[in-house]
A = this chain, B = another copy of it.
């Protein structure tokens, strides 16, 4: 029986891996961890994301079954995004990534400083 393998360039998991590892995906899913949020609220939490990219990313995540999109026909309009069970499941590995980045940032920074010092031998 065949097993999906992202090391194969033609395997769909390759593309999926690219999507779920995307920084915006990590942050958006993380933001929705504690409950549904509106479009603008997500944009406010995920500092620096453009409206266009936010829209694109949200649509992709909805299409992939990670989020649900619920539009309320009120005035003004209100649209809520919420994690599906699949999305909630995904949020666990993503949260580990987030936490790893926070915890090891200083180690990485030290490594970079050392590397740069090594490869930039005191001026030119």
Interface set of A (CB-CB < 8 Å, partner B): 3-9, 12-14, 16-18, 20-23, 26-27, 31, 45-48, 62-66, 86, 89-90, 92-94, 96-98, 100-102, 104-105, 107-112, 114-116
> Do the beta carbons of A102 and B64 come within 8 Å of each other?
no
Q: Within the complex, which residue of B9, B64, B65, B107 is in contact with A86, where a contact is CB–CB below 8 Å? A: B107
Interface of A is mostly: helix
Number of copies: 2
Evaluate contact between A47 and B8: CB separation under 8 angstroms.
Answer: yes
Extra contacts besides A14-B23, A21-B22 (19): CB < 8 Å: A4-B102, A5-B102, A7-B45, A9-B47, A12-B109, A16-B105, A16-B108, A17-B23, A17-B97, A17-B98, A63-B112, A63-B116, A64-B111, A65-B110, A65-B115, A86-B104, A89-B100, A92-B96, A93-B97
